[in-house]
Amino acid sequence: MYKMKIVQFNVALLTSLFMILLIVTGCDSINNQVEDAMEDDEYEMEVVDQLASILLGDSAIIDLKFKTITAASFDTLDTNYVLGLPGGIKDTVSQTNIQSLLDTLEGAKVTVAVFDSAYKYDIPTTPRKSCFCFNSGANEELVFYFTNYVLMNIIDENGASVHLKSNTIPLELIAGCYTLINNKPDPIVKSRYVYELSKNKKYLFQIIRNDQTTPADIYGAILSK
């Protein structure tokens, strides 16, 4: 019993000494170890995330870099989508006729595609739901990045929601793409979604504000993985 108490005491003592050492050294040696580890291949960002960090991490943010796209707002009423199109135009489209909805959005130039640059999404605050027509170019896995906390959904031409493969943000991207706010690091990519889409198809691409969405502008990139 006494031996167990001595072991517990030694563990507590070592822990205390370690914490004091961290405070005294300012964590410099540990920071150096972390930086060295991040240089190893094991901790490198995926190529697609590296490109996203270049496109969005320049976010001083220079608006001229970004293609501004104005969203259509939408709400659901009974079995219809109630659309608010750019220019104040209102339209009502059946939820069962996604193709007609996509044609309406495409005709109003509310479209996005895979783009090796970045978008500035002009999204109304009310209602909280916005949509675009998304044109896929090939069978590919796509990654959608946002600089704000948003939800997203993709619906195919048959009205079915496309399976979301991932909504996680890799730690390497968080650690390697950030800005400083009041001397504290703040990740630039706040939301990241991965979908696998089919070649030469049109999809309904929805962005939805939630309780975490801030009033800040929403920038994003859509990249092929």
Per-residue model confidence as pLDDT tens digits over 28-81: 443 444 444 444 445 688 999 999 998 887 645 566 678 889 999 988 888 888
Where is pLDDT greater, at 199 or 162? 162
Q: Indicate if the pLDDT at residue 116 is higher than 60.
A: yes
pLDDT at 164 (0 to 100): 97
pLDDT at 63 (0 to 100): 61
Q: What is the pTM of this model?
A: 0.77
Q: Which range, of 8-17, 148-157, 171-180, averages the lowest pLDDT?
A: 8-17
> How far does Cα 219 stand from its chain's mean position?
9
Using alpha carbons only, how large is the chain's radius of gyration in Å? Answer: 23
Name residues whose C-beta falls within 8 Å of residue 173's C-beta, 6 or more positions apart in sequence. Answer: 45, 49, 52, 53, 187, 189, 192
Question: Containing H/E element for 121?
Answer: strand 115-122
- Residue 141 CA to residue 73 CA, distance in Å, equals 26
pLDDT at 97 (0 to 100): 86
Q: Indicate if the pLDDT at residue 12 is higher than 90.
A: no
Q: Cβ of 97: how many Cβ atoms within 10 Å?
A: 15
